[in-house]
Structure 1
Amino acid sequence: MRINANVELDAGTKTFASGLLPELIAALRRSDKGDLVAVISDDPSIGRELESWCRFTRNSLIDTAVEEGRTRCVFRYGEPPENVGEDRPVGSRLWLYTNFDCNLACDYCCVRSSPKAQRRELGIERVRRIAMEATELGVSEIFVTGGEPFMLPDIGEILVACAAAAPTTVLTNGMLFAGSRLETLRALPRDRITFQISLDSPTPERHDSHRGKGTWARAWNGIQRARAEGFRVRLAATVSSDAEAQEFRSFLAAHDVREEDRVIRRIALRGTAMEGVALARADLVPEVTITADGVFWHPVGAEDSDLLVSHDIFPLAQSFAAVRRAFDRESDHQRRLARIFNCA
């Protein structure tokens, strides 16, 4: 997907050694903090140069692609967004993408899930091994997501295996709690499993515009069903503005939803989203994420090559170590810059 930018700068053959920097500075003067700036160049090395410049200037390189033989780089102007969870040890949270197929086709899904997506199933045997090895690695929380996890016939076994290793939260749209799936739900341990169910707005209009007609009502029914079965339920909204976030907070307060059971996040410019917050790896505190394709830096980009850490899942200790090494390299770079440019 081509990322649209607020400013397009055609650098031609210029590099940082031959006049690109003044043009970049001029482009930033025409931009606001948070704007996306695209640099198009005939020189394929521009990506490496721009990445180094972004690190130095605390901008974030979002995307690099080749279009019709020319390199197009997109960076976000300004400091990265404030991270949540910076004090959380790397590896204490573990995310599992059990599958990628879904009963919905949400228009901002960060991993492109839909009824047409290939399942790419992680599988119960790998989940069991992951859960077993996770207990030795300091994992204190497991998050199970998809796709829609309840599309899987063995989701009950998967969740029981995860819950045996650590308290587990399953992210779901809450629409499939019927028939045999309801029986699966009822067999799960209430003290070890939490449901995080998506509900994007206080009324159906905005939620349904993103997820499909009638989905708000079905999600609300799923929330009530999970609560009636004795499970803790967290409500998660994906919003596009501060106003939408505040509106949802008021709705949650009116329904006596505790602060710790509220999740409000912005749309990320990943997957099928056409707009949202553009996120680079440097913007994200790593949360080890495992899919059928390997180990990723963070769940928001668990299908994107820039967040892939390793194709090898096992042994899990090596996967965790690879993420920690990558995080240490990022941190060391920032500390070196701070030392070099200590001006007083």
Structure 2
Amino acid sequence: MVDPAVILEILERIAAVPAGSTVTVPLGPGGHDEATHTLSAWCARTGNELVGIRDGAVTVRRGRAPDPLAGVEDGRLPGTRLWMYTNFDCNLACDYCCARSSPQTARRALGIDRIRRLAAEAVESGVSELILTGGEPFLLPDLDELVAVCTAALPTTLLTNGMLFRGHRLERLRRMDRTRLTLQISLDSTTPEVHDSHRGKGSWERAVAGIRIAQDEGFRVRVAATLPAAQTHELEPFHKYLDSLGIDPVDQVIRALAHRGNADTGIELTVESLVPEVTVTAEGVYWHPIGADDTDQLVTAEIFPLATAIDEVRRRFADQRARADAASQWFPCA
């Protein structure tokens, strides 16, 4: 039996702390199992939470611990989407590439065997969308096979600079499933000068041509722009231009330049400031695709099982939010 004095002390001390805070009280003599049963029942009746009994003391939380993932939009919960870096080499050397990709970058490909397993385990883990990125995926000779593995499992988005839709690469594109695949093509300005200053001479014209080819081939096309943070509010001309290309407003993605990878400037994005997007590369599982070439965002080097990696990202995110909530608790001064 639990000494009634223990209950009285818990009551007195818990009344002086804010909701969500904990108190720890010496338990005194008695059996652990009996104390657990009695205190669990008392907490259930009073709307509090038994955190645990350890080293002769009981810890109780005032009220119930909030769900740290509550309030996160369903579409942004970690593990809703799975990003995969198919490769890191690229036909361009953009001066703000977060993945440090270029023609000289090592390929570091995931490969079809790992992508096949990831796609299958993604379905089992409740993932609703797969996203393939690079590097430039169209440099891969088996890209149509990689995409087929993914679209057979889940709706898939493929990020590309849109510049390589010709010859055998165009034939690979034509073999992809138009009903399950969205192409996301990068375009950073309404004019060639600005876009080309970051991505290379002639890249704007070829990207626009790529958008039109993809549309003519019957694919859904999303256009994504990377702009300096100071310019992200000056969007009306950009949206009007994308409208003129026939890009649906929901498929017009504007993002601020991040200070990652090759970028010398941009907004600072850290694990603490980002809602995670589970991202897999040949090196492991990362917090977010924006930092998939940076060790500070590496979650685990173990890619499989995928469910374990997703659970670890969710656990860390929940702990991070819980710490932030605890840090902002009201402190009773009177």
TM superposition score normalised by structure 1: 0.73
5 Å matches for 1:77-226?
Answer: 88-226=76-214
Q: Give 1:259's aligned amino acid.
A: P
Deviations, residues 95-134 of structure 1 (Å, cap 9, x unaligned): 0000000000000000100000000010000000000111
Shift in Å at residue 166 of structure 1?
A: 1.1
1:252 to 230, 238, 242: 242
Change (3 A) 1:305 1:97: same
Count of equivalent residues: 262
In structure 1, the residue corresponding to 2:259 is in which secondary structure? Answer: coil
Q: Give 1:339's aligned amino acid.
A: Q
Equivalent in the alignment of 2:257:
267
Report if the CA contact (8 A) 2:89-2:136 is conserved: yes
Equivalent in the alignment of 2:25:
none
- Aligned partners of 1:341, 1:324: CA distance in 2, in Å? 28
Shift in Å at residue 84 of structure 1?
A: 9.5
1:318 to 286, 290, 308: 308
Deviations, residues 114-159 of structure 1 (Å, cap 9, x unaligned): 0000000100000000001111111111110000000000111111
Does 1:301 find its partner at 2:291? Answer: yes
Does 1:285 find its partner at 2:275? Answer: yes
In structure 2, the residue corresponding to 1:339 is in which secondary structure? Answer: coil
Shift in Å at residue 341 of structure 1?
A: 4.1
In structure 1, the residue corresponding to 2:240 is in which secondary structure? Answer: helix
Change (3 A) 1:341 1:199: farther
Shift in Å at residue 340 of structure 1?
A: 4.7
In structure 2, the residue corresponding to 1:333 is in which secondary structure? Answer: helix
- Aligned partners of 1:232, 1:108: CA distance in 2, in Å? 26
Q: Give 1:180's aligned amino acid.
A: H
In structure 1, the residue corresponding to 2:241 is in which secondary structure? Answer: helix
Q: Give 1:152's aligned amino acid.
A: L
Shift in Å at residue 323 of structure 1?
A: 0.5
Report if the CA contact (8 A) 2:221-2:247 is conserved: no
Does 1:328 find its partner at 2:318? Answer: yes
Change (3 A) 1:341 1:246: farther
Q: CA RMSD in A?
A: 1.8
Equivalent in the alignment of 2:226:
238
Change (3 A) 1:84 1:147: farther
Structure 1 portions without partners, runs of 5+ = 1-82
In structure 2, the residue corresponding to 1:142 is in which secondary structure? Answer: strand
Moved more, 156-165 or 107-116: 156-165
Shift in Å at residue 316 of structure 1?
A: 0.7
In structure 1, the residue corresponding to 2:321 is in which secondary structure? Answer: helix
Shift in Å at residue 250 of structure 1?
A: 2.7
Change (3 A) 1:135 1:110: same
TM superposition score normalised by structure 2: 0.75
Structure 2 portions without partners, runs of 5+ = 1-70
Q: Give 1:338's aligned amino acid.
A: S
- Aligned partners of 2:243, 2:175: CA distance in 1, in Å? 31
- Aligned partners of 2:120, 2:245: CA distance in 1, in Å? 38
Change (3 A) 1:327 1:178: same
In structure 2, the residue corresponding to 1:135 is in which secondary structure? Answer: helix
Report if the CA contact (8 A) 1:85-1:285 is conserved: no
- Aligned partners of 1:186, 1:178: CA distance in 2, in Å? 11
Larger radius of gyration: 2
Deviations, residues 42-101 of structure 1 (Å, cap 9, x unaligned): xxxxxxxxxxxxxxxxxxxxxxxxxxxxxxxxxxxxxxxxx9967622101100000000
Report if the CA contact (8 A) 2:258-2:268 is conserved: yes
- Aligned partners of 1:342, 1:157: CA distance in 2, in Å? 61
